[in-house]
Amino acid sequence: MSGAPAGPPAAAERVLGWLLDGRNRPVVVGDFAEVYDDIRESRGRAAADAWYGFQIVRSFPPFVFNAVFWSSVMFRNYLKVFARNFRRHLGFSLINLAGLALGVGCCLLISLWVLDELSFDRFHAASGRLYRVESDEELSGQVRHGIGTPIPLASAMEKEIPEVEYATRFSRFGGLQLTIGEHSFFEGAVIAADPSFLKMFSFPLIEGSEDAALSAPLSVLVSKRMAEKFFAGGSPVGKTVRAENRFELTVTGVLQDPPSNSSLQFDWVVPFAFVDSRLNRMPEGWVNAVSSYARLRPGASTKEVAGKITALVHRHQEPGPKSSYTVEPITRIRLFSHTGRGLLARPVYYVYVFSLIGLFVLGIACINFMNLSTARSVERAREIGLRKVVGARRGDLVRQFYGESLLYVLGAAGLAFGMTALLIPAFNAVTRKDLSVGALAGPAPLAAAAGIVLLTVLVSGSYPSIFLSRLRPAGVLRGGGSAAGRAGFRKALVVVQFALSIMLLIGTSAVLRQTRFLMTKDPGFAREDLVLIPLRGGVAESYAALKAELAGSSSILGVTAMSRRPDMIGDYAQDVDWEGRAPGRAVRVSFAAVDFDFTGTIGLELAAGRDFSKDRGTDLKNGFLVNEEMARRLGRPDVLGARLSMFGREGSVIGVLKDFHFQPLHERIEPLVLLPAPNANWLGNIVIRLRPGNTAPALADIKAAWKRTVPAVPCEYTFLNDDLARTYWRENQMKSLLEFFTALAVLIACLGLYGLSAFVAERRTKEIGIRKVLGASEPALVLSLSKEFVGLALAACLFAWPLAYFLTRAWLDGFAYRVGPGPAPFLLAGLAAAGIAFATVGLQSVRAARTDPVKALKYE
Amino acid sequence: MKLLSRQEEIVLLSIWHLKDNAYGVTIREHISELTGKYWSIGAIYVPLDRLWEKGLVETRQGPASKKRGGRSKRFYQVTPEGMKLLQEIKHVQDVLWEGFPAALAEDR
């Protein structure tokens, strides 16, 4: 042999080594190398390489055969052992499965909700380039962010700003009275938009042309569902719809229904020109009155566009306070708009909170699984020991246990899918969503489900596989208490489980108490027996006649009218001034225009002065009522007679009303000024107080009076109290969901605890027997078994309290009026957890303590 | 008496024949020459492992060799039990084969 022999190429050698059976690998590889060198010496390198390559190729079949054959044999064995264990401990296994199924199902429901929230407004083909123009308006020294923009802005933007491809105005303008054949009704879901609307958004037309559909002022587009409802059996295109009893609108197209994950919802679209020039419902000039949407060209900078819009508006606006403008991506409207303070500040926080809750519940279910699996490890230990003795490597065992948890989780996921499908209708009702079982089959939910399953397997399988695979066969087979030392970890898991449950309990109780507070808080007037009828379609002009008719009814205590509604006044005065007002100090003043009988009908109390009076002609011209908050702002000892001006109306304060809630309880009671409505056009709603207990006859009287006075207009009334649920729907939704998920979480935790304590009791059967023989009483035994778990529950409180405090505080901060966080819910949640632990474990311990000690000692 | 498979028997005898130079490559060559059949390198280790498990051979780590890519050889040697077994087998074989003609043609 001459020179240094090179040996076969290193890469080839590695491949061959990898294909060879493990035990003799280095020696065999050495043999191959030696033969390779021999061949190379005698027949040259090429021959040696070819031979070596051939050796690699012919090692493949046995390698593949071995791998498949043995893994399938082991797989069948794992399955068999799994099935045996499942059957032998049917109770445990079912508890495990049920807990996991509930956890996964709960997670699945939440992810459907979250995915739906995240999908909002993403269905537009150009969703990445669609923006809403928003304004920062200066109002009495305060900057207010809003979505109002000047009416001429959209068309000016389209013409003057090159980056704007399309722009449209969008306004709900208070709805229309529509008459189609026999039907006459008020339709709120009407929007006014420009022709560009159809081009920039993806609201496809089923019938009609994009270019012509909104060009004539007297045209209307109808959604598919409304077309089916009102024009059944034929195309509506070309038919007419009567609006406000005055206009004949021609249907020029049928629109696909807006998807439920669109933040723009509507059933009818009329040209903006119709509202502007025919209905005359829009103010003149460049004041912020409608929303504007724009589609920008690809690559446009939003900052530059916003700057150009601001400059554009300032060029056209008259001197005075100026707004500045920004553009907000349409995909952020649903989740990132400002809606309040604290956790209510942006809707996206709800997405975070519910995702967190989903993870909590899943975490609790995973902990169950880990606990029950490791608790049983003592029994499994023999199996593991034996497997190791006959040659199982650690990797094999890890794979086996992950495989078992995968089987469990897959079974649970199957159950969870069924559960979700059953629960979706109820879930939809609570969340006001339109999720369907079919939605589960989409790629995103399936990906979410796969993610949940994977996460659950990883988390729940990790501890058993890592811990159990580490057992030493010698120790285990000799029967040493190998798992006893691991109880500490199980305890830690139980503490985590308790802590999560306690947090959910505290959160739920806070939300529960706050929603009850919202629904029952006395607003300062009797909310019951108040009926609201919107003054629409020219009814305002007949208000006086209507009021006279209604006054005759014995079932009606009072009739009045006002600009909005007593529980949501919502109008701010731009230019209020009073004697001694500190210049430059921002004060936001709400105002309402009211009819004379307002105070008495609503049932407000006067703190000082007198009510408006019809008999004094001066009240109509220059009387003002203020609330106590406004009186304080006036900053003088004697408020009555104080000079006040508003909209150029000079006058003086004639009375002070006690503070009442004229806004949702998220808001503080702000300064309020009431003035008598100068004419009927200021009035938006009739407010009628019914005689308590006389609802039915009163309603009949109202309908009859309405028919006599304004027969052409449909009478649509609501009860003020019923609208309360709508005002606080977000809070009510949060409450219902939290109740549901918390109940589920606690149930899952109970299941796990029950299983765990059953196991502990079983393990301690002998101990209990001996204790009994030595004279322990049953109560003492129960106590000794349950006190450990109760202690864990109490320890969990220490972790749960601060976090729960932080979260509930953040949520309650969104309300100006709220229940205090108080120590009671915290203590109660802790006690509840301890109580649940005691009850669950106690059940087991009683059974254990009752058993005959003779049987117990003979056990095994 | 332990029974050996034919393969094991051949391998064990080869090791005895090769004396101090019995390792994977030489054993395989020796057997291939004797039987005229191709034995793969890996295949030789199956009977070798079995013989070792039965305590009929023992192994010794040789010095690292340059020729084997720096890997050392594993030399095999027949243990006293192995020798004893071989003798027993030979005895049984001799008895069994006694009188069997060496060539079939002569007898006809």
DSSP, collapsed to helix, strand or coil, labels residue A192 as strand
The CA distance from B53 to B48, in Å, is: 9
Q: Which residues of chain A have pLDDT under 70?
A: 1-6, 21-23, 139-141, 320-321, 378, 439, 476-486, 574, 584-586, 858-860
The CA distance from B54 to A470, in Å, is: 31
pLDDT at A479: 57
Question: How many Å lie between the alpha carbon of A746 and the closest alpha carbon of chain B?
Answer: 58
Question: How many Å lie between the alpha carbon of B32 and the closest alpha carbon of chain A?
Answer: 14
List pLDDT tens digits, range A400-433.
888 888 888 889 989 998 888 888 888 888 888 8
Residue of A202, A203, A260, A225 whose CA lies nearest to A439:
A260
DSSP, collapsed to helix, strand or coil, labels residue A851 as coil
Q: Do A59 and B69 touch (CB under 8 A)?
A: no
Regarding whether A564 and A474 lie in a shared domain, the answer is no
Q: Is residue A531 part of a domain?
A: no
**Mean pLDDT over each residue of chain B, to the nearest integer:** 83
Question: How many Å lie between the alpha carbon of A775 and the closest alpha carbon of chain B?
Answer: 58
Q: Angle at Cα A555 formed by Cα A550 and Cα A556, nearest 5°? A: 45
Q: Is residue A749 part of a domain?
A: yes
Regarding whether A546 and A579 lie in a shared domain, the answer is yes
- B57 bridge partner residues: B78
Regarding whether A272 and A137 lie in a shared domain, the answer is yes
Partners of residue A26 in chain B, C-beta under 8 Å: 71
Q: Within chain B, how many helices (H) and strands (E) appear?
A: 5, 2
Kindly give, in sequence order, each residue whose CB lies less than 8 Å from that of residue A791, ignoring residues fewer than 6 positions away.
none
Regarding whether A318 and A191 lie in a shared domain, the answer is yes
Question: How many Å lie between the alpha carbon of B89 and the closest alpha carbon of chain A?
Answer: 28
Kindly give, in sequence order, each residue whose CB lies less than 8 Å from that of residue A288, ignoring residues fewer than 6 positions away.
A135, A137, A146, A148, A149, A150, A323
pLDDT at A204: 93
pTM (predicted TM-score): 0.76
List pLDDT tens digits, range A580-637.
777 766 678 899 999 988 999 999 999 999 999 888 878 888 899 999 999 998 888 8
Regarding whether A545 and A507 lie in a shared domain, the answer is no
- Which of B32, B39, B44, B68 has the most A C-beta neighbours within 10 Å, making it the best mutation to test the interface with A? B68
Q: Do B68 and A59 touch (CB under 8 A)?
A: no
Q: Is residue A372 part of a domain?
A: yes
Q: Which residue from B minimizes the CA distance to A52?
A: B41
User: Average pLDDT for residues B36-54, to the nearest whole number?
Assistant: 83
pLDDT at A203: 94
Contact status of A30 with chain B (Cβ, < 8 Å): yes
Partners of residue A32 in chain B, C-beta under 8 Å: 41
Partners of residue A33 in chain B, C-beta under 8 Å: 67-69, 71
Pairing relationship of beta strands A623-627 and A240-243 according to DSSP bridges: unpaired
Tokens encoding A614: 């019809």
The CA distance from B90 to A170, in Å, is: 106
Q: Which residue from A minimizes the CA distance to B44?
A: A28
Q: Which residue from B minimizes the CA distance to A9?
A: B69
Q: Do A5 and B66 touch (CB under 8 A)?
A: yes
Residue in A4, A20, A34 closest to B68 by CB: A34
Regarding whether A273 and A391 lie in a shared domain, the answer is no
Query: Containing domain of residue A43, as a range?
Result: 10-76
Q: Do B42 and A34 touch (CB under 8 A)?
A: no
Regarding whether A336 and A346 lie in a shared domain, the answer is no
Question: How many Å lie between the alpha carbon of B92 and the closest alpha carbon of chain A?
Answer: 33
Contact status of A58 with chain B (Cβ, < 8 Å): yes
Beta strands in B1-96 (DSSP E): 57-64, 72-78
Structural domain boundaries of chain B? 6-96
Q: Which residue from A minimizes the CA distance to B59?
A: A27
Q: Do A55 and B73 touch (CB under 8 A)?
A: no
Q: Phi-psi category of A419—alpha, beta or left, where left has phi over 0 and alpha has psi -120 to 50?
A: alpha
Task: Compute φ and ψ for A531, nearest 5 degrees.
Answer: -110, 135
The CA distance from A470 to A487, in Å, is: 16
- What is the full DSSP assignment across A162-176? TTEEEEEEEE-TT-E
Long-range contacts formed by A710-714: CB under 8 A, 24+ apart: A710/A537, A710/A538, A710/A539, A710/A542, A710/A546, A712/A184, A712/A245, A712/A537, A713/A177, A713/A184, A713/A245, A713/A536, A713/A537, A713/A538, A713/A539, A714/A177, A714/A184, A714/A185, A714/A186
Residue of A51, A30, A29, A31 whose CA lies nearest to A40:
A51
The CA distance from A107 to A354, in Å, is: 9
Task: For tokens 């039965």, name the residue.
Answer: B54
Kindly give, in sequence order, each residue whose CB lies less than 8 Å from that of residue A55, ignoring residues fewer than 6 positions away.
A16, A32, B40, B41
Q: Do A28 and B69 touch (CB under 8 A)?
A: no
Tokens encoding B11: 């391998």
Q: Do A34 and B74 touch (CB under 8 A)?
A: no
Tokens encoding B44: 């030789």
pLDDT at A586: 66
Question: How many Å lie between the alpha carbon of B72 and the closest alpha carbon of chain A?
Answer: 7
Domain boundary among A651, A678, A712: A712
Residue in A7, A28, A58 closest to B45 by CB: A28
Task: Compute φ and ψ for A29, nearest 5 degrees.
Answer: -60, -40
Residue in B24, B67, B69 closest to A28 by CB: B24
Residue in B24, B49, B70 closest to A31 by CB: B24
Q: Do A30 and B40 touch (CB under 8 A)?
A: no
The CA distance from B27 to B15, in Å, is: 7
Which CATH number fits the domain B6-96, given the four candidates 3.40.50.12280, 2.40.10.10, 3.40.50.11540, 1.10.10.10?
Answer: 1.10.10.10
Q: Do B68 and A30 touch (CB under 8 A)?
A: yes
Long-range contacts formed by B46-51: CB under 8 A, 24+ apart: B46/B7, B47/B5, B47/B7, B47/B8, B47/B11, B48/B11, B48/B24, B48/B76, B49/A23, B49/A24, B50/B8, B51/B8, B51/B11, B51/B12, B51/B82
List pLDDT tens digits, range B5-29.
888 888 898 899 888 888 888 888 8
Regarding whether A59 and A96 lie in a shared domain, the answer is no
Residue in B41, B67, B74 closest to A5 by CB: B67
Cβ pairs A/B, distance under 8 A: 56
Pairing relationship of beta strands A649-657 and A623-627 according to DSSP bridges: parallel
Q: Angle at Cα A762 formed by Cα A757 and Cα A768, nearest 5°? A: 100
Contact yes or no for A343/A353 (Cβ under 8 A) = yes
Partners of residue A21 in chain B, C-beta under 8 Å: 42
Regarding whether A356 and A331 lie in a shared domain, the answer is no
- Which of A25, A27, A54 has the most B C-beta neighbours within 10 Å, making it the best mutation to test the interface with B? A27
Say whether pLDDT at B72 is over 70: yes
Question: How many Å lie between the alpha carbon of A764 and the closest alpha carbon of chain B?
Answer: 45
The count of structural domains within chain A is: 5
User: Which positions in chain B have a beta carbon within 8 angstroms of at least one beta carbon in chain A?
Assistant: 23-25, 28, 40-42, 45, 49, 65-74
- Which of B28, B29, B41 has the most A C-beta neighbours within 10 Å, making it the best mutation to test the interface with A? B41
Contact yes or no for A127/A257 (Cβ under 8 A) = no
Q: Do A59 and B42 touch (CB under 8 A)?
A: yes
**What's the distance, Cα to Cα, between the start and end of chain B in Å?**
37
Regarding whether A740 and A627 lie in a shared domain, the answer is no
Q: Which residue from A minimizes the CA distance to B23?
A: A31
Q: Is residue A267 part of a domain?
A: yes
Regarding whether A546 and A666 lie in a shared domain, the answer is yes
Partners of residue A31 in chain B, C-beta under 8 Å: 23-25, 28, 41, 68
Residue of A735, A737, A832, A828 whose CA lies nearest to A517:
A735
Contact yes or no for A483/A377 (Cβ under 8 A) = yes
Partners of residue B23 in chain A, C-beta under 8 Å: 31
pLDDT at A584: 63
Q: Is residue A717 part of a domain?
A: no
The CA distance from A859 to A430, in Å, is: 52
pLDDT at B104: 67
Has the ipTM of the complex gone over 0.85? no
Q: Which residue from B minimizes the CA distance to A19?
A: B42
Q: Do A24 and B45 touch (CB under 8 A)?
A: yes
Residue in A7, A23, A59 closest to B69 by CB: A7
Question: How many Å lie between the alpha carbon of A31 and the closest alpha carbon of chain B?
Answer: 6
- Which of A14, A31, A56 has the most B C-beta neighbours within 10 Å, making it the best mutation to test the interface with B? A31
The neighbour count for residue A263, using CB atoms within 10 Å, is 14
Regarding whether A264 and A139 lie in a shared domain, the answer is yes
